[in-house]
Amino acid sequence: MRGIYIHIPFCHQICHYCDFNKVFFENQPVDEYIESIDKELKTLKQKGTDFTKVETVFFGGGTPTALNARQLDRLLEIVHSHIDVSSLTEFTTEANPDELTNDKLSVLKNGQINRLSLGVQSFDEELLKKIGRSHSPMQAIEVVNNARKAGFDNISIDLIYALPGQTQSQWEATLDQALALELPHYSGYSLIVEPKTVFYNLMKKGRLPLPGEDAETSMFSELIDRMESSGRHQYEISNFAKVGKESIHNMIYWENDEYAGIGAGAHGYLNGVRYANIAPLKRYMEHVETLELPRIEENTVTLQERMEEEMFLGLRKTEGVSLEHFAQKFGVSLDEKYGNVISNLIRKDLIEQHGNRIRLTRTGIFRGNEAFQQFLG
């Protein structure tokens, strides 16, 4: 197990595009939930999970910074009680710009958090309101400055493009402002309208004016070109970083390595089993009281599934999949297993062989799903 993901499902405001497991903060058993995280970690250790080789811890949500400073401090205390935090390569929390106060920054710094991932999404005031964000562009800029003053130098921001009504010029203005902050890492995602979201309901009613496919492609192309020209290399389809500032925790996912998912609705991959935790808050908390793991779904990954995952996750990385590593891991050559698929994708200019690796071409980066599907049985 290389990483631990801890899910904090509380939000002060629900974004219109979000389909993650979350609840409004008010009148929720927040303190009790934090203690449930402690119980799940204890149970996982008691059942034999080795925490000594953990490289990364990641607080996600929901919104971890919806917690107040005291609650964040308690959460960090729990993590320290189970893991030698000083040995971690990366310790990240997601954060909302309007919630990351100086008091919370101090708590996070003292708790040895060394990476911040800020949910900025856009620097356009009207677009932020349209997507249900509660912060302003100025708050996003201020929180970056305050984080730097507090001693954080590994800061990432998330951006979303192809938003309802968004124009190319609005996207370019957001990129201008984002890059002006001179951050080491940026993530840029195309809007995906998921079921059970405000945007999904609007789309079903014909009231969600999304940019077309050509506009989305143009925005993605602008993102890639601007990041590369600013010295942030594209190391994964949606992620850009200065060399050495790549997200190690997310690389665990793309390298198809194992990690624990802790908390209500969290997903994990341990001992060859992919699992999902119980999502409803109170049911999750009741279950961890029994000292059993709060699993609602488990799937033992077959050898065939592992090879498929190795390909469609590994090809998300711009360095692609190593022929040598694949053969060592699965006891069969990549050519023997997927030679026909690879030849076909090379003919379509979706992938290429570069030295000892198979990777997406520039065209393939834009049509990744088409390439990934060819590896699925």
Q: What is the CATH number of the domain that holds 128?
A: 3.80.30.20
Q: Do 214 and 346 fall into the same domain?
A: no
Choosing from 235, 254, 273, the residue where a domain stops is 254
Residues 248 and 335 in one domain: no
Query: 365 lies in a domain?
Result: yes
Q: Is residue 196 domain-shared with residue 333, that is, in the same domain?
A: no
Is 312 within the bounds of a domain? no
Determine the pLDDT at residue 348: 97
Final residue of a structural domain among 203, 226, 254: 254
Residue 60 φ then ψ, to 5°: -130, 180
Rounded Cα–Cα distance for residues 232 and 78 (Å): 35
Strand (E) or helix (H) holding 268? strand 267-270
**Residues 201, 329 within the same domain:** no
Give the C-alpha separation, 144 to 67, whole Å: 19
Q: Are residues 83 and 197 in the same domain?
A: yes
Asked whether residue 144 falls in the same domain as residue 219, the answer is yes
**Cβ distance 9 to 265 under 8 Å?**
yes
Domain check: are 225 and 340 in the same one?
Answer: no
DSSP 220-231: HHHHHHHHHHTT
Does residue 21 sit in the same domain as residue 158? yes
With respect to residue 110, please indicate whether it lies within any of the assigned structural domains.
yes
266 inside domain: no
Does some domain include residue 189? yes
- The pLDDT of residue 316: 97
Residue 40, in any domain of the structure: yes
- For residues 227 and 358, membership in a common domain is answered with no
Last residue of a domain, one of 231, 254, 277: 254
**pLDDT attached to residue 18:** 84
Chain centroid to Cα 199, Å, comes to 20
Same domain for 363 and 249: no
pLDDT tens-digit profile, the chain (377 residues) = 999 999 999 998 888 888 777 887 888 999 999 999 999 999 999 999 999 999 999 999 999 999 999 999 999 999 999 999 999 999 999 999 999 999 999 999 999 999 999 999 999 999 999 999 999 999 999 999 999 999 999 999 999 999 999 999 999 999 999 999 999 999 999 999 999 899 999 999 999 999 999 999 999 999 999 999 999 999 999 999 999 999 999 999 999 999 999 999 999 999 999 999 999 999 999 999 999 999 999 999 999 999 999 999 999 999 999 999 999 999 999 999 999 999 999 999 999 999 999 999 999 999 999 999 999 97
The number of residues in the chain equals 377
Domain encompassing residue 168: 3-254
Q: What is the pLDDT of residue 377?
A: 76
Which residues make beta-bridge pairs with 297?
Answer: 276
Domain annotation covers residue 297: no
| Statement to judge: residues 96 and 242 lie in one domain | yes
pLDDT for res 153 = 97
Strands 351-354 and 357-360 turn out to be antiparallel
Structural domains of the chain, count: 2
If asked whether residues 135 and 246 sit together in one domain, one would say yes
Residue 97: inside a domain: yes
